[in-house]
Amino acid sequence: MKIKSAILSLTILTALTSTVAVSHDTSDSAFAKALQSEQRSQADRERDAGRMPEKVMEFFGIKPGMTVLEVLSSGGYYTEVLSHRVGHKGNVIAQNNNFILEVFDGRFAKEFDKRTAKQRLPNVKHYKKEFGEFDLNNEVDVVTVVLNYHDLYSAASKEKRMKILAQLKKALKPGGVLGLIDMQSTAKDHDPKLHRVNEMYVKQELAEAGFELDSEAAFLRNPNDDYTKVVFDPTVRGKTDRFVLRFRKPV
């Protein structure tokens, strides 16, 4: 009877843990292995070559046990990467607003829900908040804004962007990092239709908001990009020239 009970307990434990994709091993090799796991979709793994998530995590200084606020998570490609990087002792606060969740017939909401179903990424909280509603105060180690600042720059007024940046700054712990990736444009007049933004404008706004530029990286740069083309054009999609910036909230 004891043997049967032990087998039953093991079976239940296996069933409960089989949907949990976050490893308790927080080493760099375990993170690399998690990225290659078949528990991640084939589409995500194919996107890794162009996005270089391991280098992004390293450059932003994201480590096991940290709390990360991901701004505009969309369908959750980076949500899952972050979940594996911070591990079971860390937390990912994946923010989406109503527009992102409703656009394209709810495509991103469905993708996010599928990705996190059955507590598959138990360290992820879906933070459904509009800009202006954030309630985080000095509790986040890193904020990430990946391929989304150009939309804020195009759709929101300068005053609203400054309020958003103030919220992100408030969410961060002193000395915390804001990591930003976006697609480069020319320094001429901004064209919202291209879904790009010039890094000079981004640096100026973050400085105005009180962030300090800590470092910038070139591993996602592509000097052969054609800045006149919208980023969804098949000839440049996935191969755009992207700048990677690390800012800090002053101590």
CATH for 38: 3.40.50.150
* Mean pLDDT computed over 105-130: 96
Q: Which of 78, 110, 109 is nearest to 92 (CA)?
A: 78
Return d(Cα 197, Cα 220) in angstroms, integer: 15
Q: 188 pLDDT band (50/70/90 cuts)?
A: confident
- Assigned domain for 7 exists: no
In sequence order, the 6+-apart residues with CB closer than 8 A to the CB of 11 are none
- Assigned domain for 8 exists: no
CA distances from 124 to 73, 83, 207, 209 (A): 11, 7, 30, 28
For position 2, what pLDDT does the model report?
A: 46
Instruction: Count CA within 13 A, CB hemisphere, residue 149.
Output: 31
For position 23, what pLDDT does the model report?
A: 58
Domain of residue 126 covers 22-248
Number of structural domains the chain divides into: 1
- Assigned domain for 227 exists: yes
- Assigned domain for 12 exists: no
For position 12, what pLDDT does the model report?
A: 35
- Assigned domain for 74 exists: yes
For position 141, what pLDDT does the model report?
A: 98
Between 11 and 148, where is the model more confident? 148
- Assigned domain for 5 exists: no
Return d(Cα 248, Cα 179) in angstroms, integer: 9
Q: Which of 209, 195, 202 is nearest to 245 (CA)?
A: 202
- Assigned domain for 241 exists: yes
Read off φ and ψ for residue 240, nearest 5 degrees. Answer: -70, 160
Q: Above 50 in pLDDT, residue 42? A: yes
- Assigned domain for 9 exists: no
In sequence order, the 6+-apart residues with CB closer than 8 A to the CB of 239 are 50, 222, 225
Q: Above 80 in pLDDT, residue 51? A: yes
